[in-house]
Structure 1
Amino acid sequence: MNPLLAVNGLSVHFTGLKAVEDVSFEVASGSIVGLIGPNGAGKTTLLNCLSRILNPTYGAVEYDGHDLLGRPVHRLSEIGVTRTFQNLELFGEGTVLENVVVGCFPRFRSNMISELLSLPSANRARRAAYEEARQLIEELGLLPHIDTVVSGLPYGVQKSVELARALAGKPKLLLLDEPAAGMNPEESRQLGETIRGLRDKRGITVLLVEHDMRLVMGVCENIVVLVQGAKVCEGPPQVVRGNSMVIKAYLGEEEAEDA
């Protein structure tokens, strides 16, 4: 079976810095794959290439059998690729509902004339978008906050709002950049259940960048490890957990020798 996502020899070079160097891996359809590494490993840089915010220096990326790098960022949702961000990209003065419905509008938009004249077709599309947004908000346990201004919510709740907005695009491939940041252990556990549910119930394929190792080891079938921009290890959690290079990268050389 062909992978949903295939990254081949991806490299990202900035002036005097090789942020990502010759990284290759695959993400099978219907899988949950973790992308981990210490700070500065190149994880978010790689994710920014996959979501077309950055152009790689070298390499190729295939998504569903097509060239992903030829697709502009504003056209990704049309082919089923959405993401969340390490640093929240929400409308802080908007409500939870307003933020999530933004993710629904591209699929329910009508033409400009219908919108300007407030024709019945435009009104129907708008109602459908709001209804779907409400359903997503309820599914992610955000209903008590639906009319709350986002900037007044705890950081962990804001991360859930961003996840809801990403899901509003009906993704086949969901790119998550540190979704557990700012969450307490119970919220992180619930997030793990949510991620598994997205795969099991919706068939969404997930590529997860995360520092919470309990979450990564609990939900991912395969894990790719980056250190200083290069892939040093790949495999299931039990293999990655015991890899000496991974232990050294996270603990340092002296602690790794004692481990």
Structure 2
Amino acid sequence: MPALSETPPAPDLPGLVALTDLVKSGAPIQVAEQYAFQPEHAARLGVAAKGWLGEVFQTQVSAAHGYHGVSLIRRFLGIGFEDATIRASKFKGSVVKSPDRDGPPKVDSLEEEGQTIATLDFDGRFGVFDFVGTQYFSWIRSQRVMLRGTNGELNGYDLRFLRTFQTPAYGRLERVDTGHGGNLEGHAHSGIQAMGEWVYRNPFPAARLADDEIAIATALRGMGEFTQGGPPPYPLAEACQDHYLAMTIDEAARTGETIRTQRQPWA
């Protein structure tokens, strides 16, 4: 029976290897890794696919923790199972208490926030991972995502690239939503444009969904298509690699050592 696993698919390396053995034996396992399906990240992948940036060789991602952030780094760089040299550090500081899963703070107080910064050198392609523990809900901690290529750069929402070597072009990622002002189509997300072209179209344009809900729905739809013979939405091997690299980041931060990853059984 096909199975869709939560992230991470296993807590540690032996567990990842054991699941890999199941897949090699024919178990149809996919993983609900949704972050690359979020509209803004999907739009960044769409910009890269247009060729405007040339070959993307660097990305800086401060948008998601652990395996989610690593997943974005790998997708932006076009990385498969290549080994990486990883360096990492952890920091702690104080910040005014942010909202959390229980809602806005009830009192004015300080809380500790942890930050992890890591570099992943894939021998010619380079990723920077940066995440603060309060970032998902915080009103004062923003996301930062950059893609840098041979012909251009996408920094946050700002796009710049060369039409020719003497002709720069400038644009922005522009969200297209309905239901604002006097628009009566209903509150929903249509997609994202850049340079007057669609770089992302929401597959559920009539639904009132937050960006992460759109991403989860996209993953679920992909799983449904997979069970009917369609392409895999996110194979177990990809999720194993994400978590393996994330665990290596944690190890590098804990030990202070530079670590070279090794090829794993799922690769």
Task: Specify if TM > 0.5.
Answer: no
Which has the larger strand fraction?
A: 2
TM-score of the superposed pair, with normalisation by structure 2: 0.30
Name the one with the larger helix percent.
1
TM-score of the two chains, using structure 1 as the length reference = 0.30
